[in-house]
């Protein structure tokens, strides 16, 4: 990306939510803004601190998050919502102190704060310091647009969903189906409702909303976001089109993946990963293992420690199954995902459809098998399977026969070929957006000018 120096002497402060799927986009955005001449300071919590050494051009400042060693060390993904609620309660005062000091001591003018829409206190803090705040949304605009109506969906009589209604659309929230709804609205109304309301209200008071998305993916949703939040909107993604996410990885990447892929045939390998937060049960884990094994297709499977509830790693697999799996595939704890998806040997991605993973797959033209865990993944997977038609939806069926069938359909059958062709068209459209003069590239210029004007 072309470097401009006209913004020298101006600093932007970034504050990511401490989750892999939020840290990577924030640091990618930091690189984009740095390439436009802005200096960068990243404030971060102690929990899931990004590796400062991987980003020598940025300043990093750590604040306390109030979590105990036990809370940090026990699997933090077991209840992400309550963990984030806790950090939101604890981090306000340390964040205010840190920002106040920075404003006093900085040699450069601090133009604005950019932080994740999941922070609930940052708008008030920035207002108290007279510092403009912009909001980064790390998921699809369509999902943020639904925040005002998600709490109301409980009272619409959609739940519980009978089998005959499962495939009906949720009229207020297309293309979501009724069967997706419970995993969006969740069980705990008291936690979710206030969180969504504060997010909407503080975003409306902000100085602008940045999306890791582009017009080619969701032009209408971006216009609707503008109507709902009434702030300037910038769709400057997919960030992966500019800078890789790999330097922001919180986990050690198994670098043996790529040499292993080098020995596989073109488009023969199915890559399997459910991201950094999703958990599955022991029986679901075994169903995936047998499904992959029975498909006879080569696979690269990320089994993150903590993925399987109650298990350390892959000790549930029998020796016989491990041997059989080892003949065709490779299991790792964490992969260099973007390099993997870009490899010529990858032909499909069995994914939980986190927004980063979905975009990375689209950017590399890899068709998907959708196994969403919850929240915005339910919506992303509907777009993949029902709107863009670049993937097969498992409809929550974590069953060895269904997985075997889907893998074969995507990797070897003619239906897979049709899906692959559609994916190539989508990939090309998105690639145009990040090229010079493309929609995303133009939005970056507008965003840089907007920050200058604050
Ligand atoms: N990722 C990775 N290696 C892995 C699995 C995931 O680098 O083995 C990265 C992936 O490239 C993506 C991020 O982790 O950038 C996951 O973000 P996403 O939004 O897809 O899902 P989340 O983890 O937030 O559920």
Per-residue pLDDT of the chain (454 residues; tens, 9 = 90+): 655 546 778 999 999 999 999 999 999 999 999 999 999 999 999 999 999 999 999 999 999 999 988 877 776 666 788 888 899 999 999 999 999 999 999 999 999 999 999 999 999 999 999 999 999 999 999 999 999 999 889 888 888 899 999 999 999 999 999 999 999 998 777 778 899 999 999 999 999 999 999 999 999 999 999 999 999 999 999 998 999 888 899 999 999 999 999 999 999 999 999 999 999 999 999 999 999 999 999 999 999 999 999 999 999 999 999 999 999 999 999 999 999 999 999 999 999 999 999 999 999 999 999 999 999 999 999 999 999 999 999 999 999 999 999 999 999 999 999 999 999 999 999 999 999 999 999 999 999 999 999 9
Question: Distance between CA 279 and CA 443 in Å, rounded?
Answer: 36
Q: How large is the ipTM?
A: 1.00
Return the exposure string of 81-91: e unless at least 16 CB atoms fall within 10 Å of the residue's CB, then b.
eebbebbbebb
User: What is the full DSSP assignment across 144-177?
Assistant: HHTTTTHHHHGGGT--SPPGGGTTSB-TTSTT-B
- Confirm or reject: Cβ of 7 under 6 Å from ligand 1: no
- Confirm or reject: Cβ of 357 under 6 Å from ligand 1: yes
Q: pTM of this prediction?
A: 0.97
Query: Which run of H or E residues covers position 45?
Result: strand 39-45
What is the residue with the minimal CA distance to atom 13 of ligand 1?
A: 21
- Confirm or reject: Cβ of 245 under 6 Å from ligand 1: yes
Q: What is the CATH number of domain 10-153+189-247+436-453?
A: 3.40.50.2000
Q: Virtual CA dihedral for 225, 228, 233, 237, nearest 10 degrees? A: -20
Question: Distance between CA 372 and CA 133 in Å, rounded?
Answer: 32
- Confirm or reject: Cβ of 28 under 6 Å from ligand 1: no
What is the residue with the minimal CA distance to atom 24 of ligand 1?
A: 21
Question: How far is ligand 1, taken at its centre, from the CA of residue 275, in Å?
Answer: 4
Per-domain residue ranges of the chain? 10-153+189-247+436-453, 252-431
- Confirm or reject: Cβ of 16 under 6 Å from ligand 1: no
Rounded to the nearest angstrom, the gap between the alpha carbon of residue 297 and the centroid of all alpha carbons in its chain is 27
User: Same CATH fold, 252-431 and 10-153+189-247+436-453?
Assistant: yes
The CATH fold of domain 252-431? Rossmann fold (3.40.50)
Token pair listed for 14? 């970034």
Task: Give which of 413, 32, 89 is closest to 210, Cα–Cα.
Answer: 32
356, 378, 381, best to mutate for ligand 1 pocket (most atoms within 8 Å of CB): 356
Question: How far is ligand 1, taken at its centre, from the CA of residue 106, in Å?
Answer: 34
- Confirm or reject: Cβ of 354 under 6 Å from ligand 1: yes
81, 275, 338, best to mutate for ligand 1 pocket (most atoms within 8 Å of CB): 275
Question: Distance between CA 256 and CA 344 in Å, rounded?
Answer: 16
Question: Distance between CA 451 and CA 386 in Å, rounded?
Answer: 37
Mention every residue, 6+ apart, whose C-beta is less than 8 A from residue 224. 141, 145
- Confirm or reject: Cβ of 335 under 6 Å from ligand 1: yes
């Amino acid at each position: 990306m072309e470097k401009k120096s006209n913004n020298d002497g101006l600093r932007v402060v970034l504050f990511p939510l401490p989750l892999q799927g939020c840290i990577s986009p924030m640091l990618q955005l930091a690189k984009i803004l740095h390439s436009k001449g802005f200096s960068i300071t990243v404030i971060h919590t102690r929990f899931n601190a990004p590796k400062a050494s991987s980003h020598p051009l940025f300043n990093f400042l750590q604040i306390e998050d109030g979590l105990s060693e036990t809370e940090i060390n026990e699997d933090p993904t077991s209840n992400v919502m309550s963990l984030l609620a806790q950090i939101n309660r604890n981090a306000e005062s340390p964040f205010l102190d840190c920002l106040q000091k920075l404003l006093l001591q900085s040699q450069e003018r601090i133009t604005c704060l950019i932080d994740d829409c999941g922070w609930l206190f940052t708008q008030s803090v920035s207002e108290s310091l007279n510092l403009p705040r912009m909001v980064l949304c790390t998921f699809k605009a369509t999902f943020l647009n639904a925040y005002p109506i998600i709490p109301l969906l409980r009272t619409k009589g959609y739940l519980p969903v009978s089998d005959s209604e499962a495939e009906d659309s949720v009229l207020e929230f297309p293309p979501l189906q009724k069967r997706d709804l419970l995993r969006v609205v969740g069980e705990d109304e008291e936690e979710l409702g206030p969180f969504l309301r504060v997010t909407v209200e503080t975003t409306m008071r902000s100085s602008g909303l940045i999306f890791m998305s582009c017009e080619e993916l969701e032009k209408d949703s971006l216009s609707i976001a503008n109507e709902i939040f009434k702030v300037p909107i910038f769709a400057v993604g997919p960030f992966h089109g500019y800078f890789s996410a790999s330097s922001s990885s919180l986990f050690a990447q198994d670098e043996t993946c790529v040499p292993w892929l080098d020995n596989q045939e073109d488009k023969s390998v199915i890559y399997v990963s459910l991201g950094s937060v999703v958990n599955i049960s022991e029986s679901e884990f075994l169903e995936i293992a047998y499904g992959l094994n029975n498909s006879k297709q080569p696979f690269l499977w990320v089994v993150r420690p903590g993925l399987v509830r109650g298990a350390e790693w892959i000790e549930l697999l029998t020796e016989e199954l491990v041997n059989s799996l080892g003949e065709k595939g490779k299991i790792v704890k964490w992969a260099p995902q973007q390099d993997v998806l870009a490899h010529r040997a990858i032909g499909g991605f069995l994914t939980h459809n986190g927004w980063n993973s979905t975009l990375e797959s689209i950017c590399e033209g890899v068709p998907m098998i959708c196994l969403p865990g919850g929240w915005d993944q339910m919506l992303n997977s509907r777009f993949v399977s029902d709107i863009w038609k670049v993937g097969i939806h498992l409809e929550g069926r974590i069953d060895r026969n269904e997985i075997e069938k889907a893998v074969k359909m995507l990797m070897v059958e003619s239906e897979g070929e049709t899906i692959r062709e559609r994916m190539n068209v989508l990939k090309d459209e998105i690639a145009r957006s990040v090229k010079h003069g493309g929609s995303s590239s133009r939005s970056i210029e507008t965003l840089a000018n907007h920050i200058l004007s604050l």
